[in-house]
Amino acid sequence: MAVYIYVVARDFGFAPNPFHGLCTLATCKPVVRRMAQEGDWVIGMGGTKLGAVGRCIFAMQVTEALSFDDYWADPRFKDKRPVRNGSRTMMLGDNIYHQHNGSWQQLDSHHSRPNGSPDIYNIKTDTGTDRVLISDRFFYFGKEAPEVPKEVLENIGYKNSRGHRVYMDDQCPDLLDWLNTTQSSNLNRVVNDPFQFHQSASRYSVSDDKILD
C-alpha cells in the first residue's frame, strides 16, 4: 500500500470534492490520479498560501477509480455535476468531463473560463490522466484541519514543498495511526467548510496559475 502526500495550494471543495457522501479527486494532480491504486492513501497537507503548514486538510483511501466517461455516466455521481447558479456545494461539482465524438467536453465549472466557456489549458491538464479517484473512506477537515504532530512528520522526512511524495505504508505507520485513531470520529465527514469556500463562484486556470473572478 502506498501513501501519496502533497501540499494543497487551493482548497475550494473542488479538488478534492468531499461532498455527497464520497470524496473524489477528478481534476488536477494527474500523476497522482494515474498512479494511485485501490487501497492507497492520498493525503493533502496545508501549505503557506492557506496559512496551514503542517495541518492535514484531507485524507482519502482510494476505494475505486473510474474513467471520466464512466464517472460522468454513473448515476451515483450525478449530484457532482456542477450547477453554477446553485448552492456553493453544487457550484463546485467536479464531474465536468465527458467525450463526444472523440472530443473532450467541459461543463461550466470552477475550471472553465470566467464566462463559462471551456478552458483549453485546464482540459489538457485534467484529461491528461483519464482517471477519477473515489473514496468511501475519507477524512475532510477543511478550515478545521488538525495539526499533524511534528515528530510524526519528521519521522518520514516530510517537508512543505511542491510536488507529491510517495511512501510505502510501512514507512509511515505513525501517520496512518494518528489519522485512524485520533481522527476516527471524523471518518467520512466534512468537518468544516473548505478554506476558500466563500470564493465558490470564482474560477481557476492553470495557464494563469491564479484565481479568476
User: 103-157 pLDDT, tens per residue?
Assistant: 999 999 999 999 999 999 999 999 999 999 999 999 999 999 999 999 999 999 9
Q: How far apart are CA 183 and CA 89, in angstroms?
A: 24
DSSP state of 121: H
pLDDT value at position 42?
Answer: 98
Say which amino acid occupies 45: M
**114 located within any domain:** yes
pLDDT of residue 163: 78
Closest CA to 191 of 135, 134, 146, 133: 146
Asked, for residue 209, whether it belongs to a domain, the answer is: no
Q: What pLDDT does residue 210 have?
A: 86
Q: Which stretches of the chain drop beneath a pLDDT of 50?
A: none
pLDDT reported for residue 212: 86
Per the domain annotation, does 75 fall within a domain? yes
Residue 205 lies in a domain: no
d(CA 167, CA 15): 21
Instruction: Provide the number of structural domains found in the chain.
Output: 1
| Beta-bridge partner residues of 61 | 41, 137
Q: Do the domain assignments include residue 212?
A: no
Q: What is the pLDDT of residue 107?
A: 98
What range defines the domain where residue 195 resides? 2-200
Cβ within 8 Å of residue 40, ≥6 positions away: 1, 2, 3, 4, 61, 62
CA distance to 35, 108, 154, per residue, from 11 (Å) = 22, 19, 24
